[in-house]
Structure 1
Amino acid sequence: MESSATNSPAPASATPQKSGLSIKRIIIIAASGLIGIIILLFVVTLLLAANNIEQTEQVIRLLRDLMIIFLALEGILVILALAILIIQIAQLVNIIQNEVQPILENTQDAVETAT
């Protein structure tokens, strides 16, 4: 009897591939970008205030008022999302109590009668 050995190549997905960006690197890039934006806003605000303080004051008040409105709307959105989440959890509990639990009990009864 003749034995022929064939060499099969190892699967390509046997070793996991590392992506180019790690989580730590992404966090560092995001934090650096955020700090850079904050510093840029601070410098721009100082330059505007140095030129015309009354006009800059009005612009900053307007931006402050817009941010307050935006944050209030965002708070309403978060409250609505929480309400929807609570409703979904209540529906899930209802499904488990009224549909899954009777099926489980019927299955347990069938297993008991079979043994």
Structure 2
Amino acid sequence: MSQFDKKREELLDEIRDILINAEELFDEKSKSGEAELKKLKEKLNSRVSNAKEKFASLQEDAIASAKDAVASAKQVVKQTDSIVQDNPYKAIGVAGVIGLLLGVLVSKK
């Protein structure tokens, strides 16, 4: 499992716990006193803050991963462009062979 998936699962678990704590808060409201309500509310606020931090971290990781992918794609495009510029006739030949192979494969179906 990737780091991104692990963090996503941790965040989902945290959100589930927050919802359970919120349900406890509403259930306890009718059963307990003000001190217990404050304690549950503080616990819930702490969990929400923790979930926000995890979400921010997950968001930063996703953005960094996307930036890396874009940078890698740009590098591949630059390399391909350089190769085509240096060897235009070879590039045309390779493209023609690939087109011919694809045409043969498509026509057989």
Q: Deviations over 1:51-97 (max 9, x none)?
A: 22311221121121121112112211211221121111111111111
Aligned equivalent of 2:29: 49
Is 2:29–2:37's contact at 8 Å kept on the other side of the alignment?
Answer: yes
**Matched pairs, number:** 72
Determine if the alignment matches structure 1 residue 58 to structure 2 residue 39: yes
Sequence identity of aligned pairs in percent? Answer: 8
Q: Deviations over 1:35-64 (max 9, x none)?
A: xx89x93xx533311222311221121121
Is 2:84–2:91's contact at 8 Å kept on the other side of the alignment?
Answer: yes
Q: What is the rounded CA distance, in whole Å, between the counterparts of 1:76 and 1:101 in structure 2?
A: 37
* Larger proportion of helix: 2
Q: In structure 2, do the counterparts of structure 1 residues 110 and 69 end up closer, same or farther at CA, with 3 Å as the change threshold?
A: closer
TM-score, normalised to structure 2, is 0.50
Determine if the alignment matches structure 1 residue 107 to structure 2 residue 91: yes
Unaligned 5+ segments in structure 2 are 1-18, 96-109
Unaligned 5+ segments in structure 1 are 1-36
Determine if the alignment matches structure 1 residue 78 to structure 2 residue 59: yes
Aligned equivalent of 2:72: 91
Name the Cα RMSD after superposition: 3.2
Q: What is the rounded CA distance, in whole Å, between the counterparts of 2:94 and 2:55 in structure 1?
A: 52
Offset at 1:102?
2.1
Offset at 1:100?
5.6
TM-score, normalised to structure 1, is 0.48
Q: In structure 2, do the counterparts of structure 1 residues 110 and 65 end up closer, same or farther at CA, with 3 Å as the change threshold?
A: closer
Aligned equivalent of 2:49: 68
